Structure 1
């Protein structure tokens, strides 16, 4: 991340950038893009359903299952955009669209995902605050890796970078289970009743339709392939954005702009990567302006990059394969290096008593 002198970063720096972005029109709504994308995905989904009925009792259905996983991933990206209020001017319209896109199409809980994702946006890569680096099967921080140095846990930790992407084949199933657990937790049923109904009807109807069309074994294999593709596509889009970037201690506070830029990584690759990652490859711009419509992120990038250069804030951007290589290397060495290669001197210098700016 560089060892140069630390610049003076103030809240006014972000306000100036926000003014430039707003005057350039990058926060304007892009309804044509979103309605066009939604119509294209509906047509693709209808085509897949028609093909499934036509193919019938055949193992070729597994190819269609992979295609369905790709289409549902794109619906998930649309749900993400609506949850961030990128689509409509009305917050209520965005929330309703997000609930339909996430629940009725992708089968995930809008309420569960929004709460989790909002905490990530407020404090990316901050221990004890960002749920995306919390303890789990994969240790994302040295603290989470403690106690895993020997035996089978030690072997797993030393190889978890290589195992991370194969494990993503289980992420689709995990997301569905996590949604259902959150929606059925004691004391949440009344608050999440609508979400639970939408998700339950979607998942139950999906399984019932497959069992009407296919024998149980083929239906099970169809679900497994579809969930594996969904998990790899979603996880492969989220992983390069923050993994291997600086980890902030629980008590550290940094102003908004450097907090979002230093902990995020953009991924180069052109329009193909834009489509495959749902615009999340512009992670820096997305974290700085969560309500910016997806197609405007690419347009705002030159402004953001130049602003960071002028204020001496490191702006990290890699190719897709290079970013995956960083993720693998970082995860294989979590807790094993005396000083991790991703510790950031600038982040260290910007820690308390600098106060985190309000969003």
Structure 2
């Protein structure tokens, strides 16, 4: 992207203002269809089911006892924890209740107490991502510690081990996701004990302590040390893998825009996001994240409405010449792995922004006409 550093001129600012009114019209259509209404019955069912599911798993874990069959329990717990994390994501985006306080406490209970992820840490990081998806210097989700997703990150100084890992990161992408669960827990602990402002710090510390210490103690009480270590490794590995494959297709491999580029809200959210086409089973499996475009345009839209909103939003984007990407799940993984592989090998301009390409084409046409 270094070769393309566009300047937004006065006429382009006028385009941005007109495009903003375009989103206002879309928002009016979505609101008039009732797609922003709360779904209390849907969410209360899930809120009751979440702690019950954890309780059932733990009771089964204690009843099964010290056996290698517990590795199946570890797999089930990984799925349950991920589904609860999706529900916490909905609460953090104010999808469940009108009250921000209610949503915050539900996120704390689901995230910190049941899953072991700091709500405060995640909220700060995720809010920045939503404001500027795939924007250099603004989106924390493209600043990863091991895998690089931008050419700029590849050019930074790196030791031989990191250099080798990045050169092979396409091949190693899915295995690396097995460590994502451990990373999420570690980042959460660092955040709640770090300096800086954090609302409800002591609530987070209390909930995380109960979840992490209590869970590990229970595992080692029920299981012998060897089985306990393997159990935790399997549960953490599958949890991280599930979280990773749910979030990775959303933006990786979509255009990365430079720091100084200004886009209107509609294009900024649609062009940097990717939807995953599939059945209602996929909707459940990915926690609604497969409708990433709709979620980024309307973060507080309840999850059940995303499928209904998608055809209308896609048609609206086509009508207004806004690129709307929707692909099958396997295709998305193929694009993601191919993209990060080329970035890791040091290729420049792996993907360019469609809006920038459009502007370049218009400029070329104008020069030819002149």
Same fold (TM over 0.5): yes
Cα distance change on mapping 1:325 and 1:198 into 2, 3 Å:
same
The answer to whether residue 156 in structure 2 is matched with residue 126 in structure 1 is: no
Q: Which moved more, 1:328-337 or 1:185-194?
A: 185-194
- Tell me, yes or no, if the aligned pair for 1:254 and 1:350 is still in contact at 8 Å: no
Output the aligned Cα RMSD. Answer: 2.1
Instruction: Report deviation, 1:229.
Output: 1.1
* Counterparts in 2 of 1:190 and 1:319: CA distance versus 1, 3 Å: closer
| Matched position secondary structure for 1:226 | helix
User: Residues 192, 161 of structure 1: CA spacing in aligned structure 2 closer, same or farther, 3 A cutoff?
Assistant: same
Moved over 6 A (4+): none
Q: Deviations over 1:160-203 (max 9, x none)?
A: 01211111110001000000001111345786222111111111
> How does the TM-score come out when normalised to structure 1?
0.91
Given the alignment of the two structures, is residue 263 of structure 1 paired with residue 272 of structure 2, yes or no?
Answer: yes
Unmatched 5+ residue regions in structure 1? 1-5, 352-359
Whole-Å separation in 2 of the counterparts to 1:152 and 1:186: 31
Corresponding residue to 1:71 among 80, 88, 91? 80
The structure number with the bigger radius of gyration is: 2
Aligned position for 2:347: 337
Q: Which moved more, 1:189-198 or 1:10-19?
A: 189-198
- CA distance in 2 between counterparts of 1:194 and 1:10 reads 43
Residue 24 of structure 2 corresponds to 15
The DSSP-based 3-state class of the residue aligned with 2:179 is: helix
Q: How far apart are 1:159 and its partner, in Å? A: 1.7
For structure 2, the residue ranges without an aligned partner over 5 or more in a row are 1-11, 361-370
Between 1:316-325 and 1:182-191, the stretch displaced more is 182-191
Q: What do the CA deviations read for 1:100-158 (whole angstroms, capped 9, x no partner)?
A: 11011101111110000000000000011100001421111001111579954443223
CA distance in 2, matches of 1:348, 1:131: 25
In the aligned structure 2, how far is the partner of 1:238 from the partner of 1:348?
Answer: 27
Measured in 2, the distance between the counterparts of 1:312 and 1:319 equals 22
Q: Write the distance in 1 (CA, Å) between the matches of 2:107 and 2:349.
A: 41
- Paired with 2:108 and 2:275, the residues of 1 have a C-alpha distance of 28
- C-alpha distance in 1, partners of 2:233/2:359? 46
SS in structure 1 opposite 2:36? coil
- Is the Cα–Cα contact under 8 Å of residues 285 and 301 in structure 1 kept in the other structure? yes
2:216 is aligned to 207
Contact 2:151 2:347 in 1 (8 A): no
Aligned length: 345
Q: Structure 1 CA distance, aligned partners of 2:99 and 2:341?
A: 44
Residue in 2 aligned with 1:356? none
- Give the conservation status (yes or no) of the 8 Å contact 2:88–2:110: yes
